[in-house]
Amino acid sequence: MIQPPRAKKINGDYAWLREKDQPEVLAYLKQENAYTESVMAGTAELQKQLFDELKGRIKETDQTVPAKLDDYYYYSRTEAGKQYEIYCRQKGNLVAPEEILLDLNVLASDLGLAYLRLGVFSISPDHRYLAYSLDTDGSESFLLRVKDLTTGQLLPEEIHGTYYTLAWANDSQAFFYTVFDAAHRPHRVFKHRLAAPPGTDLLIYEETKPGFNVWLRKTRSRRLIFIEVENQTMTESWWLDADLPSVPPRLLEPRRPDLEYFPDHHPDGDTLFILTNDGAPDFRLMAAPVDAPGRSRWREVVPARPGVILKDFEVFKTHLVLELLENTQPQFEVINLATWQRGRLRFTEPVYTLASDLNLEFTTDCFRFVYSSFITPETVYDYYFATGEQTLRKREELPSGYEPSHYESERLWAEAADGVRIPISLVYRQPLALDGSRPLLLYGYGAYEEVIEAGFSATRISLLDRGVIFAIAHVRGGGELGRGWYEQGKFLHKKNTFTDFIAAAEFLIRSGYTKAERLVALGRSAGGLLMGAVANLRPDLFQTIVAGVPFVDVLNTMLDPTLPLTEQEYGEWGDPRQPEFYDYIKSYSPYDNILPQNYPHILVTAGLHDPRVNYWEPTKWVAKLRELKTDDNLLLLKTNLGAGHIGPSGRYDALRDLAFEDAFILKTLGLLG
């Protein structure tokens, strides 16, 4: 059993674990890892078996569907045995010679890197230059480089500390990029001209108000570049003319509390389409002229509809594509801009997911999207505007074999204590007897208005084939049922997220899908907060809990505005400098509510370079659990010392982590055979 040194505790806390540069901290994390490895040593053969199964279900040598832009077709591919993607293009047609633009495997090898993640990948409008950025340790701090694709040579540019967005001006000689501040908040936009001396980039925009992030987005029409400023409850957009990159940005509509709007551009009539919650909590679509786009000029083109959430939209020359949620189900609605006639794409499975794929061209006869479900592998379709036809372009292949008819999915509804109905999506291998004998893995998140989608996962099959039911509890705090669903699970209503998850678990037990000693709970990041909370509230309800990079030290983190992201998070959790939020957060923060009681088996993961949930949060949580819990159940901490919030960057490394997690679940369920 790991015991943190008592002498190092500060005021009864484990604050010393925050001292990342102190040798004793790294030594402690390594000690925890060694303990975890020793406890799991008996599952080594199972982990290898699981890894082989997981690898066998991915097509190791594969390629995305090429996306056309002007005279080029862009795609990425993978090769067996290689960790990373290779980015390529062909000119003119798909039988032309392949041009490799960026091979991350070569970069990782040349630089001797165990971790490599791509941030920006942006081709200049003339297709000559590639701007790309790399994170080499998981800290999400990117080095930006520019490659001349005609010569294959790197330009002298090296820009450090950049973030995720970049946009080229139409002259292909200048681009705009974002950098972050000490709190890891993207707050500045700079303009860079190729071959400009270091330190001469022009500051275009700076957001000085804490809690607001700054992003860049170029429209598909290629005419405008938006500088988008947002926090959890309001947005503001500025726009640049991509043909006139020296003209300062212009404001679309000033920010104001609770106003969110998201513009896009159509060159016919120089029109902006604007998705907004102004007068419509679940959003509506407006239009306005670019030369006078303020709120007073907005006119409604798609009104709000009861029970329909307008999540997003895409603009093409002849059509709009709306992304909707209705009764938790995703929908695409297509609008003909000449006639304003609408039509919806129809799907028959009880639970499924939809996503727009890479649609690069503004003038096109089709819209590319991705469909999947718990049972149907990821499938790419082209939807043709003129005919409504859907052409299958690619379906995910599982080389080791897969028979969809062996599995069944369902949508269920649990009832919370306050009478609210909570949707549950689940999938299992047939046949199923509702006698409580099946193990069940229940996943939850419930934050940031995120919709947790019931999509296909080839890596999930190893558990399904061992009899494990997989379920998602779509708890409040997410966005599955609209803005109200989100608001009922944030601020001073956050505990609804936890009690909804508990209600879903109780319902599944009552309905015979599983029983407490066969029930596993899983959540990551903000979902890890959910795991910590339900562990304190109802430890008797779960046999096992897996908490990935969990946000469990909520009160201490939110009281420290010097930490990355803290001030941005006030819009989600509340500001604990205000007494009502302090008291409420303290009442549920997992670290502050550990009790001397029995807890389930728990696996906790962390990343040493994580800028979102600092490694010390899960580490402190585990240390305090070790001190107070009264059982002999497993409590393991696994810290990736070379990665951050997202975990390993290489695809095989990610599969090994998943095999380890699955082995822990099977071990604690007594399913090692």
Tell me which of 525, 575, 589, 662 is the catalytic residue: 525
649 included as an active-site residue: no
- The residue-averaged pLDDT of 214-229 equals 98
What pLDDT score was predicted for residue 5? 39
pLDDT score of 8 more than 80 = no
> pLDDT tens across 187-218, in order?
999 999 999 999 999 999 999 999 999 999 99
> pLDDT tens across 109-146, in order?
999 999 999 999 999 999 999 999 999 999 999 999 99
609 included as an active-site residue: no
Tell me which of 265, 575, 645, 662 is the catalytic residue: 645
pLDDT score of 2 more than 70 = no
What pLDDT score was predicted for residue 13? 75
User: Using an 8 Å Cβ cutoff, are 494 and 584 in contact?
Assistant: yes
- The residue-averaged pLDDT of 507-520 equals 98
Query: Parallel, antiparallel, or unpaired: how do β-strands 86-91 and 72-78 relate?
Result: antiparallel
pLDDT band at 433 (very low <50, low <70, confident <90, very high): very high
Closest by Cα among 286, 229, 230, 246 to 238: 229
How far apart, in whole angstroms, are the C-alpha atoms of residue 460 and residue 567? 36
Tokens at 631, concatenated: 């059982």
Proportion of the chain above pLDDT 70, given as a percent:
98
Question: Tell me, what DSSP letter sits at residue 64?
Answer: P
- The residue-averaged pLDDT of 268-283 equals 96
Tell me which of 122, 610, 649, 662 is the catalytic residue: 610
Facing residues of 41 across strands? none
> pLDDT tens across 438-493, in order?
999 999 999 999 999 999 999 999 999 999 999 999 999 999 999 999 999 999 99
pLDDT score of 9 more than 60 = no
3-state secondary structure of 315: strand
> pLDDT tens across 55-80, in order?
999 999 999 999 999 999 999 999 99
What pLDDT score was predicted for residue 565? 85
User: Using an 8 Å Cβ cutoff, are 176 and 189 in contact?
Assistant: yes
> pLDDT tens across 279-337, in order?
999 999 999 999 999 999 999 999 999 999 999 999 999 999 999 999 899 999 999 99
What pLDDT score was predicted for residue 673? 66
The model carries a pTM of: 0.96
631 included as an active-site residue: no
What pLDDT score was predicted for residue 564? 84
How far apart, in whole angstroms, are the C-alpha atoms of residue 563 and residue 576? 14
What pLDDT score was predicted for residue 521? 99
